[in-house]
């Protein structure tokens, strides 16, 4: 026989597991979201026109709710940059260390963390890092409208 405390704990565990269920996306949704994500790299967001990079660190996440999107983003990034999947893979000549931390030479770290927030709606938290005074973050919410993702809200962009 289960106590009231045990039943409450079981109910919370079930509710928590249910809230972590992420629906799968169609191929069309994956491709369209990946296309949108690659438009948020730093040269599109906060660098002057003409700035270019030769490489990107698009690191793997411990938990990736949308691995198909991650794979597609990497493929699209590879058309423009050399793509590294782990910080250890970035060659030493592309790293500069000083009292303010590590800076990247000729490249940047980029992340797009996707979170399902409701029926055909996702939040994407974008972050990039080039150096301690060259980085940005922003959350954008998208709604799928049958043929593409539209922006529902653009959170403020934080640039250092």
Over the stretch 29-85, which tens digit does the pLDDT of each residue have? 999 999 999 999 988 877 767 778 999 999 978 889 999 999 999 999 999 999 999
The overall pTM is greater than 0.85: no
What would the two tokens of residue 145 be? 């409208």
Q: How far is CA 65 from CA 28, 34, 138, in A?
A: 17, 14, 19
Indicate the number of domains in the chain: 1
Q: Is residue 19 domain-resident?
A: no
Q: Is residue 113 domain-resident?
A: yes
Give how far the C-alpha of residue 60 lies from the chain's centroid of Cα atoms, to the nearest Å: 10
Place of tokens 């490249």: 107
Range of the domain at 100: 24-159
Q: What pLDDT is stored for residue 132 in this prediction? A: 81
How far apart CA 107 and CA 129 sit, in angstroms, is: 9
18 band by pLDDT with thresholds 50, 70 and 90: very low
The alpha carbon dihedral of 114, 120, 121, 126 has a sign of positive
Q: Is residue 129 domain-resident?
A: yes
Q: Is residue 10 domain-resident?
A: no
Q: Is residue 6 domain-resident?
A: no
Please state, for a pLDDT cut of 70, what percent of the chain lies above it.
86
Neighbouring residues of 154: CB distance < 8 A, sequence distance ≥ 6: 138, 140
* Pairing status of strand 149-154 against strand 134-144: antiparallel
Work out the mean pLDDT of the chain and round it to a whole number: 86
Mean pLDDT across 83-101: 93
């Amino acid at each position: 026989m289960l106590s009231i405390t045990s039943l409450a704990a079981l109910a919370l565990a079930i509710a928590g597991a249910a809230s972590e269920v992420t629906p799968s996306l169609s191929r069309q949704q994956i491709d369209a979201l990946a296309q949108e994500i690659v438009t948020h790299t730093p040269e599109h967001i906060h660098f002057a026109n003409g700035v270019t990079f030769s490489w990107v660190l698009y690191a793997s996440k411990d938990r990736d709710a949308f691995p198909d999107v991650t794979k597609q983003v990497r493929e699209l990034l590879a058309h423009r940059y050399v793509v590294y999947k782990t910080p250890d893979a970035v060659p030493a000549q592309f790293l500069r260390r000083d009292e303010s931390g590590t800076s990247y030479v000729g490249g940047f770290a980029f992340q797009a963390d996707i979170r399902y927030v409701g029926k055909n709606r996702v939040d994407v938290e974008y972050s990039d890092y080039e150096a301690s005074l060259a980085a940005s973050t922003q959350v954008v919410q998208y709604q799928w409208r049958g043929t593409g993702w539209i922006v529902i809200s653009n959170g403020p962009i934080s640039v250092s």
